[in-house]
Structure 1
Amino acid sequence: MADALILPIGLVTAGLVAARLGVLTIAAWQQATYRREQDRLTLEVMRERIAEAKKRRNENALAWNGLRKFVVKRKVLEAEGICSFYLVAHDRKPLPPFKPGQYLTFRLSIPGRDKPVIRCYSLSDSPRTDQYRVSIKRVGSPPDQPTAPPGLVSNYFHEQLSEGDILDVQAPRGHFFLDVEQERPVVLIAGGVGVTPLLSMVNAVVATRTQRDVLFFYGVRNSREHAFKDTLQEIVSHHSNIRLVVAYSNPQPEDERNEGRDFHHSGRVDIRLIKSYLDSTNYQFYICGPPAMMETLNKQLLRWGVAEHDIHTEAFGPATVSKAFASPQAPQSARASDSAATAISITFAKSGKTCSWSPSAGNLLDLAEAHGVRIDSGCRAGNCGTCVVAVKSGKIQYVTEHGAELEEGTCLTCIAAPEGNIVLDA
């Protein structure tokens, strides 16, 4: 009887030992597999970091400081009053890639002007190492002031620049750009020639071959001002993740038969139109166009519930900066009423002039010019860096983000307001 029991007990014990060994073997195999996977992931991360560091080194090697000579390779009429200029480096060396949405700064010697003129224009194509493209609208005389002079620089580009001419250009810069590494859906809203940086963004999405959802609103007056129509329609026809909504605010009789094909909406791009295409506010919004359009849409999007950090706008010249002084995000000193503001003293050390600043005086560059203090200027929107001066004492605040690189202890007077009494080296 005892012998009969010993055999089953032995078998059970052997089974338990075998099971235990099996469990230990599986655990060891799982641990080894886990370690191999961790080693693989660590190696991948290291490779990605090395590749990113190499990419940054290559980009830095291609970048340049100051001015670089560029040749106008091609000049192409895109629509009524809008012309594209294809630029290649005069030294034929590769160009550094830029972030889609950034701009170039031009230093122009225009006949009849006693000093160079500075202007910034958005890059309108995806990043390339062989050429850059800017697309510029000719600015005419204001409709209500037909005798006023037209835009100096835009007309210089349109009327006097030819293929083969040489330009002085600063490297791409700017804080208004699309991060192509992200996958979050994006809404692009363009008004008129404000389409240029947003076209660069959508071209970059196409170039990276991602499936990122893009909804592109584009408002123009009519077909005559509808730039890049074929380009955008071609993109949409080949990429299901990109949708295009074109609005004509003043369609002509000949446009009406093309509604639904060339354009989709009669009227302006407004919050009602945008909401009709979106089921939520969980998007990143990029807006570029006339100041009034950007200001209105910014307020409407915030009121709708879009997070402030998800709304990105491009400063389009001095008019945008002027509006920024009155915005809720402006420094308190810039928003205070003249009657409530404590008198702030601004001393221009080199000129030997001291004057009082109040919000109605505008930015520090405006104040200097009003009192005969000469400070060179260019874009007047915080981008080109021409108006930079040293701050000898005191503090300033900016009413909008700037794109220029600054040394410590200096300021861009075109977008600066004082926090208190200051002394400027001007």
Structure 2
Amino acid sequence: MTSLALLLWIVSGIVLQLAIYLGIGFWRHWQDYQALRHRAAEFNLPVAPLPPVEAGDTPAAAWPAFRTFRVERKVVEDAAQSVCSFYLMPQDGQALPPFRPGQFLTFRLDLPMATGGTEQIVRCYSLSDAPRPDGYRVSIKRLLPPVGSQVPPGRSSGFFHDHVDVGSLLQVRAPAGHFHIDRSDAPVVLIGGGIGITPMLSMLSWCLNEQPAREVWLFYGVRDGSELMMQAHLEALAAAHHNFHLRFCFSRPLAEESARSADHHRGRIDVRLLRMELALKPYHFYICGPTTLMESLVPALEDWGVPDAHIHFEAFGPASIKRRRAATSPATIPQNGAEDAGIVVTFAQSGKQFPWQPAAGSLLEFAEANGIAVDSGCRAGGCGTCQTTIRVGEVAYRQPPDYDPEPGTCLLCVCVPRANVTLEV
């Protein structure tokens, strides 16, 4: 036998041994795997791959600045004829990016003036339907002044009701906002007070379309049945979906509404009602409504023991709602930020200077509290109306704004000073 043949025999033996070793190892692993599967089946444990990352969890592509939309439909939604829905279609006919249910649209409006000409203002309104690729819907309530007060009626809401009709063209910024429903399967409680129902309608429609097995409660508070928006539609949804539970809450019900079915409650939405209706489950609460509702309900939920991470809200003037736990959370107070003493805020155009008071909230609220008028829209960092030049100093954001401010500027509604700052207002 030659040395070459001997070498080939040795190599063949080594390869054979490796093959046998790998085969035995594979067989043992296969046996262990089958044993685990049988054990999982025995104890009724699920064997499934990890769920894929949802495409909807990534930010949707949006258009820059404002885009022209045409009003396709205008629908009165309540018996009091105080709420109108406006169905909007993009004039360019291009598909629309999906939005997160609960977000809002920003409108740039040219309001007619009594002296002639127009005045441009920016206002934000919540989307009131689930995402669709061909159009959006907003539902707007005509804002009337309180009886006997000198407060003027809502200019933008009155403009929509009186001057915006089918065929009208509107300038619209892409959907924005941090208040939106999560995509988990956790049971959810939606609470809408008055026109605060609009983002709840968007969340509800999305849940019933995309997560029909998810447990959803809707508590809808108004003064009486004449103010209910889309009542028949909501009742039809509750009848069609056994996981959807609907409760109307009337603070001042009419005589004929005092003895209605179990889905009607006499009184305001409060934590006592929630404790009576809801089981002990890890609900997520989404709340939108007037400040009075928020000021009573959010602290009451905290006292009930609802985790801070399970309470999500948007008020009419959101910065005015203070969360007890969030007030001392590092996530909401910037490092080396506005909690430091001795900070002075200077407003250049007005020539005023004030020592910073962290309890004031945002720089927008601080300016307003000191008699300095600042144009604002969403008050949540989404529309850019309160964008202001920073002459000196720097600011910190309490939450990431949806609107991207220009270099050297800030959004007063969602920021506080880090040090002495001079603002161009």
- What is the CA–CA distance in structure 2 between the aligned matches of 1:138 and 1:93, rounded to whole Å? 31
Check 1:144–1:374 CA distance in 2 against 1; reply closer, same or farther (3 A cut).
Answer: closer
* Runs of at least 5 residues in structure 1 that lack an aligned partner in the other structure: 1-21, 35-43, 334-339
Q: Which residue of 2 aligns with 1:306?
A: 306
1:386, distance to aligned residue in structure 2 (A) = 1.3
Q: Secondary structure at the match of 1:110?
A: strand
Matched letter for residue 232 of structure 1: L
Tell me what 1:243 maps to: 245
* Structure with the larger helix share: 1
Inter-CA distance 400–276: structure 2 relative to 1 (3 Å threshold):
farther
Once residues 275 and 361 of structure 1 are traced to their aligned partners in structure 2, the CA distance between those partners, rounded to angstroms, is: 33
Letter in 2 for 1:215: W
Q: Deviations over 1:370-395 (max 9, x none)?
A: 88977543334433111112434434
Do the aligned partners of 2:294 and 2:315 also contact (CA within 8 Å) in 1? no
Matched, 1:157 2:160: yes
- Structure 1 residues 31 and 84, CA gap change in structure 2 (3 angstroms): same
Q: How far does residue 73 in structure 1 lie from its aligned partner after superposition?
A: 0.6
Helix, strand or coil: the match of 2:112?
coil
Aligned to 2:143: 139
Q: Which moved more, 1:67-76 or 1:356-365?
A: 356-365
- Contact 1:380/1:415 (<8 A) preserved: yes
Shift of 1:92: 1.2
Closer, same or farther in 2 for the Cα pair 1:33/1:139, shift >3 Å?
same
- Aligned residue type for 2:161: H
The code of the aligned residue for 1:394 comes to G
Structure 1: distance between partners of 2:407 and 2:285:
32
Question: Conserved in 1, the CA contact under 8 Å of 2:84 and 2:139?
Answer: yes
Which range is displaced more, 230-239 or 382-391? 382-391
- RMSD over aligned Cα atoms: 3.5
Q: How does 1:219-298 map to 2 (within 5 A)?
A: 219-257=221-259, 259-260=260-261, 263-280=263-280, 282-298=282-298
For 1:216 and 1:314, the matched residues in 2 are separated by 16
**Contact 2:69/2:89, CA 8 A, preserved across alignment:** yes
Compute the displacement of 1:87 (Å): 0.4
Could you tell me how far apart the structure 1 residues matched to 2:69 and 2:418 are? 41
Deviation string 1:173-217 (CA, Å, 9 cap, x unpaired) is 11100123x111111111111111011001001111431111111
In structure 2, the partner of 1:98 is 99
The structural deviation recorded for 1:413 is 1.4
Q: 1:184 matched to which residue of 2? A: 186
Q: State the 1:405 CA deviation.
A: 3.2
Contact 1:321 1:400 in 2 (8 A): no
- Report which stretch shifted further, 196-205 or 108-117: 108-117
Alignment deviations for residues 41-89 of structure 1 (CA, whole Å, 9 cap, x no partner): xxx879x56x949x969x42xx201000001110000012111110000
Gaps of 5+ in 2: 1-22, 36-48
1:168 aligns with 2:171: yes
* Corresponding position of 1:129: 133
Change (3 A) 1:304 1:369: closer
Question: Sequence identity, in percent?
Answer: 41
2:248 maps to amino acid: V
After TM superposition, the structure 1 = structure 2 runs for residues 398-417 of structure 1, keeping only pairs within 5 Å, are: 402-406=401-405, 410-417=409-416
Cα gap change, 1:199 to 1:23, in 2 (>3 Å): same
**d(CA) in 1 for partners of 2:229, 2:350:** 50
State how many pairs are aligned.
377
CA distance in 1, matches of 2:350, 2:26: 86
Distance apart, 1:260 and its partner CA: 0.6
Residue 354 of structure 2 is aligned to residue 356 of structure 1: yes
1:14 aligned partner: none
